[in-house]
Structure 1
Amino acid sequence: MYEDVISHEERDAMVRATLAEHGDSGVTPRHTLFFFHGEGDHDDLNEVARRAGFVTSGQGETTVLETTMAVDEASFTPVSAMMQSWAAAFRLDYDGWECAVVTN
């Protein structure tokens, strides 16, 4: 239900706001995880993600993509859009992302 009420763009902005509260502008690259769930095509997601440079893991109805990247708005917006596109293409639920706080 949470995803139905708040868009991914708003959720992304909320994460960046939390990082900013801790003195993190998001520009320093850091380990970042993306989460997908559901009964869709995890194998195809893994293949496409690996070709795009992500490390993939998970089992069953969960896939986690990992990369090192900046998470400021300019850097992150196209990646967030790509994750949403992949979720739609592979009939999965994109559950968002997480990263460590890196003070700049």
Structure 2
Amino acid sequence: MDASDISHDERDAMVRAALAEQGDSGVTPRHTLFFFLGDEDAHGDLCEVARRAGFIARGDGDMTILETTMAVDAESFAPVSSMMQTWAAAFQLEYDGWECAVVTH
């Protein structure tokens, strides 16, 4: 199965499962990155909206990375994941997923 065939909800669950395997429940806020790909000209508006929403935004060519500190448990993360997907559609970019630090204390 190609990664593009997997929904973002399923991808999010897979990341949380990998965290759980390492003893991380996701409830402790941690550094989290979100990745967007697409036409270089489309990233400026995403960066502006993301900064207004409290994210650190940085772009390099056809990629934008948004950074924040947040919990990544299912309940906390679901609205943020939905927002990322909405932003990608609004700015005609591809939301390529997220990653975060493992926190086990």
Match of 2:59 in 1: 58
Measured against aligned partners, the alpha-carbon deviations of 1:25-69 in whole angstroms (never above 9, x if no partner) come to 000000000000011610000000000000011211110000000
Whole-angstrom CA distance in 2 between matches of 1:6 and 1:59: 26
What TM-score, normalized by structure 2, do the two folds share?
0.95
**Amino acid of the residue matched to residue 8 of structure 1?**
H
RMSD (Å) for aligned C-alpha atoms? 0.9
Match of 1:33 in 2: 33
What TM-score, normalized by structure 1, do the two folds share?
0.96
Count of matched residue pairs? 103
1:2 CA drift (Å):
1.3
In structure 1, the gaps of 5 or more residues are: none
Whole-angstrom CA distance in 2 between matches of 1:74 and 1:46: 25
Q: Percent identity?
A: 73
Stretches (4+) displaced over 4 A: none
In structure 2, the gaps of 5 or more residues are: none
Contact 2:29 2:71 in 1 (8 A): yes
